[in-house]
Amino acid sequence: MERLVYVVSDLHLGPGWLPNGEPDPLEDFSADADFARFLDTIGTTGSPVELVIAGDFLEYCQTLPEIGLASPEDHLGSTEAESLRRTDVILGQAPAIASGHPEVFAALRRFMVEGNSITIIAGNHDVDLLWPGVWARIFDAIYPPGAAGDLRRVRYAYTVGEGPRGRVYIEHGHEHDRANRFGERMEHPFGVDRMGVRRLKRCWGTLFVDKVYNQLERERWFIDNVKPILRVVKLGLRHDPIFTATALGLVARFLLTSGLPPLLGGVEAEVGVTPDAEAIVAALADPDLREVLAMRIAEPAFREEFECAVCGAGTGELALALSGAAPQLTLDGADITTGGEVVLGGRGGDAFRNAAQAVLEEDPRICAVVMGHTHGPLDGLADPLVLSDGRTGYYFNSGTWTLHLKDEQGRNYTWAEIADEANYTATHNYVLLEPDGHGGYRPRLGEWKA
């Protein structure tokens, strides 16, 4: 029997609340009760439905962030045991650390008790789901034994529909983002470090979160909600210069050292001099970053904070980086983002729309493509794609359930305004796929309002 399908994405369930009752500063999801009510409503209509979570369901990068810093190699992340520790926190099974989100998992389990099905697609922030042990832990938390519906995990993409036309193709979308792709359609997500330990591969975007954003967000909760980073930096220089000096130091350190091979013993002992700010700035490949820093390092307080942040890398790493031992990224070249819309100066490019068009061109049975990742909901019916054979196709984005700056046309936010939670909103979007009676589906964008 054909059934309604609801697609959501980018919930980013992380550590939740600290034992003292305050929210963890790295937590982005606060809609636990609303999401539970959403599931209870759509799951009790009398006919089975399917929920598709199209990536970044869970937020591993910002749960137990010390794990991300402990990996011995930049291109590799957590072990399976480390991902399991993070999973327990998110599930709410480590209350001494944080609350997690037990209300959401209880609601998902009730949803399945009613005979409904759930499909979870791995995203760049929850690639940990591809560990067998992690998926077993999540499966046990959600699946009630003997449930009539299915609970499945999908590595990369999922297609809904069986008819000759009207099928809907769903993926997270991070593979079309240079900084957040893993490659090979997530078929080979694991690597082995130099000690023979099996670890998740780590994309540049995750590395940036691990080494830069997690530290900054603990001090300024809003820092990863606004992009592009240089626009944010210029605001911060005027209104929050000491914090911005730290931010720029961490960014400079990341760009200089993150392409280095793993360092072996002895390097620190061979280097006795810490490079000064001028040498560090001159070595940066990013011209915009060099320009911003060259104007500020003459200020003693700024210089001190900047050098302190950069030199956290260690003199050995810095010496190697300044010698040209590694290829160096620029902010534009890396296109680093944690998955948010560009809200300070226009939207991003058309990489996702182009990827959707390629899927539609390749398979005439598919009428629509749904992605997440960018956090910006898109109504494909409002801007259809014209395909080479004359067909019309549609590209939807299911948005996010996390807070984001209100997208007000033509508004330029000040530093104080982006720090004011009153300027943020949550639009609880989904894409509803309704059966067309011929094995296909008709998609439409919706918003849940309790």
| Cα 286 to Cα 333: distance, rounded to the nearest angstrom | 9
Strands 50-54 and 117-121: parallel
Asked if residue 155 lies in contact with residue 185, where contact means CB atoms within 8 angstroms, the answer is yes
Look at residue 105 in the predicted model and tell me its pLDDT.
98
Each residue's pLDDT tens digit, 242-282: 888 888 888 888 877 776 554 433 344 344 456 678 888 88
- In this structure, the dihedral spanned by the alpha carbons of residues 212, 214, 217 and 223, taken in order and rounded to 10 degrees, is 50
CATH topology of domain 5-190+343-448: Purple Acid Phosphatase; chain A, domain 2 (3.60.21)
Q: Is the pLDDT of residue 219 over 60?
A: yes
The percentage of residues in the chain with a pLDDT greater than 90, rounded to a whole number, is 57
CA distance linking residue 196 with residue 217, whole number of Å: 33
CA 25/CA 284 separation, integer angstroms: 30
Name residues whose C-beta falls within 8 Å of residue 406's C-beta, 6 or more positions apart in sequence: 423, 424, 425
Strands (E), 50-176: 50-54, 117-121, 151-154, 157-160, 167-171
DSSP reduced 3-state for 170? strand
Question: Could you give the CA distance from residue 244 to residue 303 in angstroms, rounded to a whole number?
Answer: 11
pTM, rounded to two decimals: 0.88
Residue 311 has pLDDT above 60, yes or no: yes
Which part of the chain has CATH 3.60.21? Answer: 5-190+343-448
The packing angle between helices 229-239 and 241-257, to 10°, is 150
pLDDT at 53: 98
Both tokens assigned to 35: 């999401």
**Cα(374)–Cα(248) distance, integer angstroms:** 24
Which strand ranges, in their side-by-side order, compose the sheet holding 167-171? 157-160, 167-171, 366-371, 392-397, 385-386
List C-alpha distances in Å: 240 to 8, 312, 343, 406, 409. 36, 21, 20, 22, 26
Kindly report which listed range (167-171, 242-246, 324-328, 339-343) carries the lowest average pLDDT score.
339-343
Tens-digit pLDDT profile for residues 139-184:
999 999 999 999 999 999 999 999 999 999 999 999 998 889 998 8
Closest CA to 250 of 331, 345, 187: 331
- Give the position of tokens 């694991």: 190
What's residue 246's pLDDT? 86
Chain-wide mean pLDDT for the chain?
Answer: 87
Q: Distance from CA of residue 327 to its chain's centroid?
A: 25
Q: Are 337 and 180 in contact (CB under 8 A)?
A: yes
